[in-house]
Amino acid sequence: MTLPGQRKRQVSRGNAEARREMAPYSVRWMTGPALAASGWIDPILALERENLAPLLRATGQEFPEARRRAELAAADATSVLLLRGGVLAGTIGFVRDWNNPADLYVASVQLRAAARGGPGLGILLAAGLEAARRTPWRRLTANVHPSNHPALRLAGRLGFRRSAAAGRTSIGLALDREELLHSPFATLAATLAARHRLGGDPPTS
């Protein structure tokens, strides 16, 4: 049985969610220390935990919260936040590759389920490219679990090469800077960046 007060709260929440879904996307770039000070680390971890839950269950792993919290707050980390109605809709995180600091490691790419199937992913990737473009690096690198088929398909579309990651069960990915900046995706990203005004101020420090 739903009481009148409960019904009003449910309608109010439904209206708020509908307004968020109709709100335009916005993007913020932040360094690790700024991210830690802003309070966005917990929402990012919650999104990662939600998206990675099926994979972690299948592989019998725990979500590495302490490690990810430290990585997000690191001085050399940059996070791109995709927001809609003030709520985190997606994120991309970069940090210097521990194997070679000339490379930029893609630590995480996450998109909320409600933002899939629309322009959200394209906007997030375009904003990520715009943020990475302003940072010196030789190549982008990443590691993906073999069972994470959506991530591997996306990496393939973006032009990443696969390799065996030394000492790891994951699949190593690499993409040279010039290959990315002269790829068809870079042209699309530039169009999305202009359309959604993603080329704003550099990451907040």
| Cβ atoms of residues 151 and 144 within 8 Å | yes
- Note whether residue 45 is domain-resident: yes
Instruction: Please check whether residue 79 lies inside any domain of the structure.
Output: yes
Taken as a whole, the chain contains a residue count of 205
Q: Is residue 3 part of a domain?
A: no
pLDDT given for residue 186 in this prediction: 84
Q: Per the domain annotation, does 87 fall within a domain?
A: yes
Taking the C-alpha atoms of residue 17 and residue 19, their distance in angstroms, rounded to an integer, is 5
**Would residue 11 count as lying in a domain?**
no
Sequence-separated (6 or more) residues with CB below 8 Å from residue 155: 142, 144, 162, 173
Start-to-end Cα distance in the chain? 51
Domain count, the chain: 1
- 110 strand-pairing partners: 91
CB 93 within 8 A of CB 72: yes
For position 7, what pLDDT does the model report?
Answer: 61
Per-residue pLDDT of the chain (205 residues; tens, 9 = 90+): 666 666 655 555 545 554 556 689 999 999 999 999 999 999 999 999 999 999 889 888 899 999 999 999 999 999 999 999 999 999 999 999 999 999 999 999 999 999 998 889 999 999 998 888 888 999 999 999 888 899 999 999 899 999 875 667 889 999 999 998 888 888 877 777 777 666 555 555 5
Q: What is the CATH classification number for the domain harbouring 119?
A: 3.40.630.30
Q: For residue 19, is it within any domain?
A: no
Print the domain residue range for 100. 25-195
Is 10 a domain residue? no
Residue 2 within a domain? no
Between CA 180 and CA 130 the distance in angstroms is 11
